[in-house]
Each structure stands twice: as structure tokens, then as C-alpha cells.
Amino acid sequence: MIRLGSNSPTRALILKNFGIDFIQNGGNFDEDSITTQNPKSFCYEATLGKFNELYSIYGCEEYPLLVADSVVTSNNELLRKAKDEDDARRMLNLQSGSKTSVITCMIYKSKNLKLIDISSTTYIFDKFEDKHIEEYIKSGECFGKAGAIMVEGFCKPYIKEVRGYESTAMGLCVEKLLPYL
């Protein structure tokens, strides 16, 4: 049993699909306090901030603590969670027909081990159909996701090429965690 330090239903689903028993306790770390625009640095700082907050509350004596965060980058721009429909549309149009990377950082701490991993999965997308973008935005599924990206949903039919694990793009590189559980 581990403690997932995240409110993400997608991260919870990843653990469930891999048969990992967990309890889920998210935190309130303020990502707006991070000033860097470097995607990899931002992802690490956000994960570390969340980890430090939750470790101070729960520690890892009862259950190992797992915290993760993801960011998206396309055309050298850091893409965070969409603020509104216009922001989601801008991000999706930026990714349409181009290369987009999802960077995920995780920190896992048990009594005997501390694992820090930063992984990246890169997608090359076909051009998104405008009608499909509008349907996706209206569905609301794009909100709460870095870069408004949903590789297991909206983006799936547009994937021309992928380099890396889908789990990384979904928010938790479980393949790299499994050997340590």
C-alpha cells in the first residue's frame, strides 16, 4: 500500500490499472509561486513543493509517499492548465500538427528509498480538426490537464508518432516505479 499525494483521478487510475494498492491524499501547493518558465525545472519544482508539503503532513512511516506532476511543452512554450476556453483553444492550436512533449516528475519515498524521476514522452500530432477541438473544449475534459492535452482521449486519433511511455503522458511513469515497489 502506498499514499498517492495527488488529487488526479488519472494518476489514481494508472495505479489501479497496474494493481497497486493506494490511498489518495492531495495537497494545496501553490504552483503559481514557481517563477521559472523552463518546463523541466517547473515540473521538478512543482513536484518537490507538493512532496515537501505532503511529507510534512504524512511522512512515509505508515505508507510510502508518491507525488507527481506533469507539464506540457510545445514550440518551446510551457503549457500549464488552461485558464478558460480561449486558453485551451490557444494551447490545442499550438500543438496541432506539431511536436508536443509531456514531462512528468515523480518523487517516491519509503522508509528505505527515495526515488526521483523526470521522464518525457513526445508526440508528433497531425493537424487537429477545428470541429473536434470545439467539441473537446465544450465537453470540459480539457480542463485540469496540463496543456489541455488528453492523449488517451481527444489526441489519440491525431498521434502520428510517440516516443516514450503513455503513462508518463498521463501523469505518472508507473513503469519506472514498479521495480521499487
Contacts of 90 (CB under 8 A, 6+ apart): none
The residue from 21, 30, 32, 69 that is catalytic is 69
Residue 26, phi then psi, degrees to nearest 5:
-85, 175
**Does 21 participate in catalysis according to the annotation?**
no
Contacts of 8 (CB under 8 A, 6+ apart): 26, 68, 171
Alpha helices (H) along the chain: 9-17, 39-58, 85-95, 130-139, 166-170, 174-177
What residues act catalytically?
69
